Amino acid sequence: DIQMTQSPSSLSASVGDRVTITCRASQSISSYLNWYQQKPGKAPNLLIYAASSLQSGVPSRFSGSGSGTDFTLTISSLQPEDFATYYCQQSYSTAMYTFGQGTKLEIK
Amino acid sequence: QVQLQQSGPGLVKPSQTLSLTCAISGDSVSSNSAAWNWIRQSPSRGLEWLGRTSYRSKWYNVYAVSVKSRITINADTSKNQFSLQLNSVTPEDTAVYYCARVYYGGNAINWFDPWGQGTLVTVSS
pLDDT of residue B71 exceeding 90 = yes
What is the chain B residue with the closest CA to A103?
A: B46
Which run of H or E residues covers position A15?
none
- Residue B110 CA to residue B89 CA, distance in Å, equals 30
Which residues on chain B are in Cβ contact (under 8 Å) with A94?
62, 102, 110
The per-residue b/e assignment along A13-24, b for 16 or more CB within 10 angstroms, e otherwise, is beeeeebebbbb
Q: Enumerate residues 38 to 57 of chain B having a beta carbon within 8 A of any beta carbon in chain A.
A: 46-49
* Helices assigned H by DSSP within B25-92: none
Positive or negative, the CA dihedral A43, A49, A53, A56 is negative
Residues A54-79: pLDDT tens digits? 999 999 999 999 999 999 999 999 99
Tell me: pLDDT of B27 over 90.
yes
Q: How far apart are alpha carbons A32 and B106 in whole angstroms?
A: 12
Residue pLDDT, tens place only, B73-87: 999 999 999 999 999
Beta carbons of B115 and A43 less than 8 Å apart: yes
Question: Tens digits of per-residue pLDDT, A5-46?
Answer: 999 999 999 999 999 999 999 999 999 999 999 999 999 999
Do A99 and A87 contact (CB within 8 A), yes or no?
yes
What is the average per-residue pLDDT within B55-60? 95
Among residues 3-32 of chain A, which lie with CB inside 8 Å of chain B? 31-32
**B62-83 average pLDDT score:** 97
Nearest chain B residue to A32 by CA distance is B109
- Window 43-82 of A: residues touching B by CB (8 A cutoff) are 43-46, 49-50, 55
Contact between B104 and B33 under an 8 Å Cβ cutoff? The reply is yes
- Range B98-110 average pLDDT: 91
Please tell me the least confidently modeled range out of A29-38, B99-108, B113-122.
B99-108
User: Which residues of B fall within a CB distance of 8 Å from A36?
Assistant: 112
Does B107 have pLDDT greater than 90? Answer: no
Cβ separation B109–A50 shorter than 8 A = yes
Average pLDDT, chain B: 97
User: How confident is the model at residue B108, as a pLDDT?
Assistant: 84
Does residue B98 belong to the interface with chain A, where contact is any CB pair within 8 Å? yes
- Contact list, A44 vs chain B (CB under 8 Å): 47, 98, 112, 115
How much is the average pLDDT of B62-68?
A: 97
* Chain A interface test: which of B112, B117, B119 (most A C-beta within 10 Å): B112
pLDDT of residue B106 exceeding 90, the answer is: no
